[in-house]
């Protein structure tokens, strides 16, 4: 026991041993009465520190420790956490475990990252379960993981950019479709208004012709009726006067007989029949629709080739009737659809030409840079390449003041005069493409090849001042 003299507490606490009052407070913090204290010193000896309660607790701890040592012999022992040892506030430790900063098993901070298991660990976890694994600090691991994710995000970002561009292209295409529709509706209405106006004018003209014939023949018939009325009146007067003379006395009758007989002996002319007096319905109604259709040749234009605006380069501007192309330096905002050409300032015809013979004439005028011909439908449209028959292009061009066929040699042609109108002729069956001067049929150049698919008329113009125009052909209406 301690040599220090025990002190009496304020009040009279009860002795835990004999429940007597007036116990003494020992240095270990427990209270015992004088009798129990002497008993404790007798049992434990004068050198033993503490009381029976302290001795009992130490004895119990020793027994439990021996028991655990025998149970967990040769097994990994868990180190007590800071919270269990009372070094860390238990509430704080719980919060850190919840937010993932503390190891749930060992209570230590998660300062390492196992690269094989891809999980955060503490130092104790590394010693116990990840000893053979590659581990690094959280800072290094985070930087490396971020680097890998940046690399993985790069193709995703590229795909996102592609999808965003595709969506924007779809929006632009939808807007262009709307503008195309409005433009087409306006032109269709204008063309039909012209046709309707032509029909209204033809209707008025034919109705006026009927009315004029009616007025003319009605006037003649009226004049004839007036003459007949006058003759009827004169004849009736003669008959009446003669009958009056005959009804008079014989003497009076005979006196005037000579005069009466002369009046009766007048020569009578029967009215002549008037041919063509009726309205000529056959003239006005016969084949009326055909005759109107025939007259429409004067207001209807026909071009053997119609340009396809969906294939035109953005630097080309087409006329409303799709027969003229003009080069402009200002690029138009058009969708980059698969049919549209890039790198070539050109446009194709709207219909592919197959078996048979086909021809069209182009007014090149004073254009200083142009190209004409035919191409395959699958010709490359988004890249530049030297045009040639091997590439699916049979063309003749004017460039730098020289006329050249786009073939293997590309040697310039020697022409006697500059053609202002060029005729392009395609004989698909025999595999021939011919270019000639439309004014005098002078042959400019001829390609000879073998075709196996439809070909599309090709037009290119890079002259800023002069357009190219497909010439209209004369329309003939005939019966068989």
Separation CA 175–CA 460 (nearest Å): 27
> 454: pLDDT confidence band, cut at 50, 70 and 90?
very high
Q: Which of 26-35, 189-198, 277-286, 348-357 has the lowest mean pLDDT?
A: 26-35
Is pLDDT above 60 for 358? yes
The pair of structure tokens assigned to 379 is 């010709």
Q: Which are the contacts of 13, defined by CB distance < 8 A and separation ≥ 6?
A: 21, 23, 25, 31
**pLDDT score recorded for residue 271:** 75
Quick one: which of 80, 74, 82, 76 has its CA closest to 129? 76
Quick one: which of 205, 186, 192, 204 has its CA closest to 299? 192
**pLDDT score recorded for residue 351:** 95
Separation CA 437–CA 372 (nearest Å): 13
**pLDDT score recorded for residue 10:** 42
Separation CA 308–CA 318 (nearest Å): 9
Q: Are 9 and 31 in contact (CB under 8 A)?
A: yes
> 272: pLDDT confidence band, cut at 50, 70 and 90?
confident
Is pLDDT above 60 for 86? no
Separation CA 46–CA 40 (nearest Å): 9
Q: Can you give the pTM of this predicted structure?
A: 0.63
pLDDT mean across residues, the chain: 83
Separation CA 30–CA 14 (nearest Å): 11
> What Å distances lie between residue 279 and 210, 216, 285, 290, 316, CA to CA?
8, 10, 11, 21, 57
Quick one: which of 408, 342, 332, 422 has its CA closest to 379? 342
- Tens digit of each residue's pLDDT (9 = 90 or more) over 137-186: 888 888 888 888 889 999 999 999 999 988 988 898 999 999 999 999 99
Q: Which are the contacts of 399, defined by CB distance < 8 A and separation ≥ 6?
A: 369, 371
């Amino acid at each position: 026991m301690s040599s220090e003299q025990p002190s009496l507490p304020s009040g009279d606490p009860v002795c835990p041993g004999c429940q007597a009052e007036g116990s003494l407070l020992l240095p270990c913090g427990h209270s015992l009465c004088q009798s129990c204290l002497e008993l404790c010193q007798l049992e434990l000896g004068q050198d033993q520190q503490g009381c029976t309660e302290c001795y009992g607790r130490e004895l119990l701890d020793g027994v439990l420790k021996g028991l655990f040592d025998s149970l967990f012999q040769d097994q990994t022992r868990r180190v007590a956490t800071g919270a269990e040892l009372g070094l860390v506030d238990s509430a704080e430790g719980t919060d850190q475990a919840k937010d993932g900063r503390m190891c749930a098993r060992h209570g230590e901070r998660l300062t390492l990252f196992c690269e094989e298991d891809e999980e955060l660990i503490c130092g104790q976890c590394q010693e116990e379960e990840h000893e053979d694994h590659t581990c690094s600090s959280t800072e290094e691991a985070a930087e490396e993981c971020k680097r890998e994710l940046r690399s993985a995000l790069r193709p995703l970002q590229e795909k996102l950019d592609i999808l965003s561009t595709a969506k924007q292209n779809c929006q632009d295409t939808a807007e262009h479709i709307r503008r195309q529709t409005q433009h087409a509706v306006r032109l269709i209405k204008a063309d039909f208004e012209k046709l309707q106006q032509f029909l209204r004018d033809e209707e008025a003209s034919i109705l006026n012709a009927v009315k004029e014939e009616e007025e003319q023949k009605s006037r003649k018939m009226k004049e004839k009726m007036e003459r007949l009325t006058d003759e009827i009146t004169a004849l009736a007067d003669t008959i009446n006067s003669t009958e009056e003379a005959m009804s008079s006395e014989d003497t009076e009758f005979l006196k005037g007989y000579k005069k009466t007989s002369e009046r009766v002996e007048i020569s009578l002319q029967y009215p002549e029949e008037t041919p063509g007096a009726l309205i000529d319905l056959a003239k006005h109604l016969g084949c009326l629709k055909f005759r109107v259709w025939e007259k429409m040749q004067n207001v209807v234009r026909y071009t053997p080739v119609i340009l396809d605006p969906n294939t035109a380069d953005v630097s080309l501007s087409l006329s409303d009737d799709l027969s003229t192309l003009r080069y402009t330096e200002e690029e138009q905002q058009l969708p980059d659809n698969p049919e549209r050409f890039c790198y070539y300032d050109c446009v194709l015809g709207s219909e592919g030409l197959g078996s048979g013979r086909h021809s069209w004439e182009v007014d090149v005028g004073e254009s200083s840079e142009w190209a004409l011909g035919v191409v395959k439908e699958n010709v490359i449209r988004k890249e530049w390449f030297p045009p040639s028959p091997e590439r699916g292009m049979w063309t003749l061009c004017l460039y730098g003041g020289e006329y050249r066929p786009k073939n293997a040699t590309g040697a310039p042609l020697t022409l006697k005069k500059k053609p202002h109108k060029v005729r392009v002729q395609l004989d698909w069956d025999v595999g021939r493409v011919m270019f000639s001067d439309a004014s005098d049929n002078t042959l400019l150049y001829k390609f000879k090849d073998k075709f196996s698919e439809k070909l599309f008329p090709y037009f290119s113009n890079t002259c800023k001042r002069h357009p190219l125009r497909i010439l209209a052909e004369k329309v003939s209406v005939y019966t068989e």
